[in-house]
Structure 1
Amino acid sequence: MTNSSRVGAGVAGAVVGYIAIFVLFSVLDLGNRADPITSGLLALFVYSPIGAVAGAVLASWLVTRSGNAGEKDADNGGVARNSLKSLGIVVLLCAGGIGAYIAYAYATATPWLNRNGYSPLLVFEIRFPAGVAVPTSAQGITVELQTDLNTMPGEVTPAAFYRDGDQPVIAGKVELAFRTSHRQLAVTIEGQPSRIYPIDLTSRAPHTPEFGTWRHLADGSEIRYRAKWPGKT
């Protein structure tokens, strides 16, 4: 029996030992029922690893014993050495798996959309039909970004309000905290129905230096917007 076979058997024994102990604790409910969270963590990080060590040692010993008649393990390393090699491989595989998951979560699964702790902004302008009463200050205007992951209050910038002919235009911004393509902006002016504007940005909301085209709502109002990332204009 080759040394690699013994190490491979030890790896299999470690995996089986870990799973067996964890399942045993789960099925038989051997932990503290008054504190199931602590019991689960102990089973996951203490008792199951002990089972993995025992499984690796037992598997290496059994494989060594089942070798050819009179074969001794001295030439290829003892049971303890093979067990340590097996456990080392298991640890490396676990570390690699955890690292791969973290990389995957950071790149695709983690919903946070920020850089160095700072999230991009949705900068917008809304142009209303002529005759619509629009406050000249922030008072009486509520802005909220709504997504499938969260809602985020926005703010208007009265200094950036202006008139386009006889049409009033308000401006504002709101934080894009999460990575999602399902966004809409709810704008409510006191005494008027709430207006919901679809925001057609990709999930990663890349920076754009200029506003997009005006997008029309059924009530005659229009919105244009862009994503502004930290450190960019």
Structure 2
Amino acid sequence: MKSSLRIAAGIAGAVAGFIGTIGLLELTGFGNRADPITTGLLAVFVIAPCGAIAGLVLATKLTTRKDANAGSLTRNSLKSLGIVALLCVAGAVTYLLYAYATATPWLNRNGSNPLLVFEVRFPAGVTVPTSAQGITIELQTDLNTMPGEVTPAAFYRDGDQPVIAGEVELAFRTSHRQLAVNIQGQPSRIYPIDLTAWAPHTPEFGTWRRLADGSEIRYRAKWPGQT
């Protein structure tokens, strides 16, 4: 148990030494301001690791009994250093996997794209075409625009309120989405789409979301192969 505590103290010392060295270099104005890239690489990969090793050894020594021999101090320091190295490797591998997975903004690079399935409910008295003619749907994001389609067979009336339905592809991974619904002879309606960037599949529609003009939208993401 005591050995484990010393190793943990060594790891904490390494982290503190790394961070402390970076902070000290920043405070003292280390490096060539005209070449910040080289300065940063030198600080992160050369000087700060030396500070981390110094912090590791110091923390291990402080938690090692005074009567312990040098071999015990060396063993605990090397164990702490090995764990720190493994954590660094694990962190690097995790970052590389994340970087690979997010290298392109496509939501589904290996097949057809998921769909945004939606329904728009209009206030009573609004005239809505019973066919696709005169209705234009467009998904707008910070990465692209995508034309959508309405499904006249899925149109219905909710009491005295007309409801249209349709779908549009979600091609890109972004949380900045909005759906433009244009009906000929009426002002354009823009509905914010509150989905995460990954837009996970949901089998049921969400709640109705209202615009200032009284119209409402509800939607869900539908991934290929799921209903």
TM-score (normalised: structure 1): 0.57
Shift of the 227–17 alpha-carbon distance from structure 1 to 2, 3 Å rule, reads: closer
Contact 1:144/1:151 (<8 A) preserved: no
Query: Which structure is larger by alpha-carbon Rg, 1 or 2?
Result: 1
- Name the amino acid aligned to 2:66: G
For residues 79-228 of structure 1, what are the structure 2 equivalents within 5 Å? 79-92=73-86, 98=91, 114=107, 120-124=114-118, 129-130=126-127, 136=133, 141=136, 143-145=138-140, 150=142, 153-157=145-149, 160-161=151-152, 171-175=166-170, 177=172, 184-189=178-183, 192-197=186-191, 206-208=201-203, 225-228=219-222
What stretches of structure 2 of length at least 5 have no aligned partner?
A: 99-104
Shift of the 172–85 alpha-carbon distance from structure 1 to 2, 3 Å rule, reads: closer
Shift of the 170–89 alpha-carbon distance from structure 1 to 2, 3 Å rule, reads: closer
After TM superposition, the structure 1 stretch with the greater mean CA deviation from structure 2, 11-20 or 213-222, is: 213-222
> How far 1:28 sits from its partner (Å)?
1.4
Deviation digits for residues 184-204 of structure 1, max 9, x if unmatched?
522235664111346577995
2:77, 2:37 → 1: CA distance? 31
Question: Are 1:72 and 2:54 matched, yes or no?
Answer: no
Shift of the 219–19 alpha-carbon distance from structure 1 to 2, 3 Å rule, reads: closer
What stretches of structure 1 of length at least 5 have no aligned partner?
A: 106-111
Partner of 2:102: none
Partner of 1:109: none
Question: Are 1:42 and 2:51 matched, yes or no?
Answer: no
> How far 1:207 sits from its partner (Å)?
3.1
**SS in structure 2 opposite 1:185?**
strand
- Name the amino acid aligned to 1:186: A
Shift of the 35–133 alpha-carbon distance from structure 1 to 2, 3 Å rule, reads: farther
Select the residue among 216, 227, 232 that pairs with 2:226. 232
Deviation digits for residues 102-140 of structure 1, max 9, x if unmatched?
7xx9xxxxxx895676653112355774476987388xx
2:48, 2:193 → 1: CA distance? 49
Partner of 1:28: 28
- Name the amino acid aligned to 1:154: M
What is the RMSD of the two structures over their aligned residues, measured on CA atoms? 5.0
**SS in structure 1 opposite 2:79?**
helix
Shift of the 151–219 alpha-carbon distance from structure 1 to 2, 3 Å rule, reads: farther
1:226, 1:169 → 2: CA distance? 15
**SS in structure 1 opposite 2:31?**
coil
**SS in structure 1 opposite 2:66?**
coil
2:13, 2:221 → 1: CA distance? 53
Contact 2:18/2:48 (<8 A) preserved: yes
Contact 1:152/1:174 (<8 A) preserved: no
- Name the amino acid aligned to 2:48: S
Deviation digits for residues 38-90 of structure 1, max 9, x if unmatched?
422432233211222233345556777x723xx633xxx35443321121233
- Name the amino acid aligned to 2:116: L
- Name the amino acid aligned to 2:30: L
**SS in structure 1 opposite 2:202?**
coil
Contact 1:154/1:172 (<8 A) preserved: no
TM-score (normalised: structure 2): 0.58
**SS in structure 1 opposite 2:81?**
helix
After TM superposition, the structure 1 stretch with the greater mean CA deviation from structure 2, 81-90 or 116-125, is: 116-125
Contact 1:113/1:120 (<8 A) preserved: no
